[in-house]
Amino acid sequence: MNYPGHLFVITAPSGAGKSSLVRALREHDAQVVVSVSHTTRPPRGQEQHGREYFFVSEAEFDTLVLADAFVEWAHVHHYRYGTSRHAIAEHMAQGSDVILEIDYQGALQIKRIFSDAVTVFILPPSWDELRQRLQRRGEDTGTVIEVRLANAVAEVAQVHQFDFVIINASFERALDDLRAVVRTQRLTYTAQCRAKNPAFKALQIGECVPHTAQEISWPVSP
Ligand code: 5GP
């Protein structure tokens, strides 16, 4: 099955600024849709069911796994997180650009399934800065911050597997970089031929010829 929209996967260690960047991207760009994942983690602060996440019990998550409802799922920081097929399939078929804000394990699973997915890793400028951001955020205890930093070392070690890397030293610059990645994908031959078909027709270029196979081969299990 061909899908007209793009699939972007954005990964970063906790505190690198991924959610703020994605939120700002969405404010600037009505064509992007952020997929809402399922998680067994309890809601934090003002989080709402169906907005930040679908908050489900361990048993409900098990049922979804058995029903093959997830295109990918992973254990992250003691909880399970998953992207449901339903969360992305419809938007992708409609031509929206779908963003998955997921960890590196999920990102690598997605890349194996959707070879055209664009993976972006957001790095903090330094470990000191990451520690300070986690402390300033005030959401976690000192022990939890140390766990997050230790996990971040393992996460960052996977950066070479990603298509793009953005260093979030300045928020505005990082947002500009993220917008550039999205814009670049919309300028490929395949994307332009789809989006600007009347112009291609007027120029008598002929039918759009996909130059890469965009097969969706859903996994049997994540
Ligand atoms: P948090 O609990 O802080 O919102 O998220 C913890 C981590 O889980 C983050 O790295 C986030 O990107 C990741 N995550 C959120 N949703 C998913 C998902 O559907 N799949 C995977 N693999 N990771 C996810």
Shortest-distance Cα residue to atom 11 of ligand 1: 102
Burial class (CB in 10 A: 0-12, 13-18, 19+), 208: middle
CA of 26 to the centre of ligand 1 (A): 18
CA of 198 to the centre of ligand 1 (A): 40
- pTM over 0.85, yes/no: yes
Confidence category of residue 222, pLDDT binned at 50, 70, 90 = very low
103 lines ligand 1 (CB under 6 A): yes
Q: What is the structure's pLDDT at 89?
A: 84
Shortest-distance Cα residue to atom 16 of ligand 1: 102
pLDDT at 179 over 50: yes
pLDDT tens, residue by residue, 137-177 = 887 788 888 988 999 999 999 999 999 999 999 999 999 99
Q: What is the structure's pLDDT at 169?
A: 96
Domains detected in the chain: 7-35+96-202 (3.40.50.300)
51 phi/psi in degrees, rounded to 5? -100, -70
pLDDT at 15 over 60: yes
Tokens of 172: 């505005």
Q: Averaged over 72-85, what is the pLDDT?
A: 94
- Range with lowest mean pLDDT among 21-35, 104-118, 137-151: 137-151
Determine contact, residues 16/130, Cβ cutoff 8 Å: yes
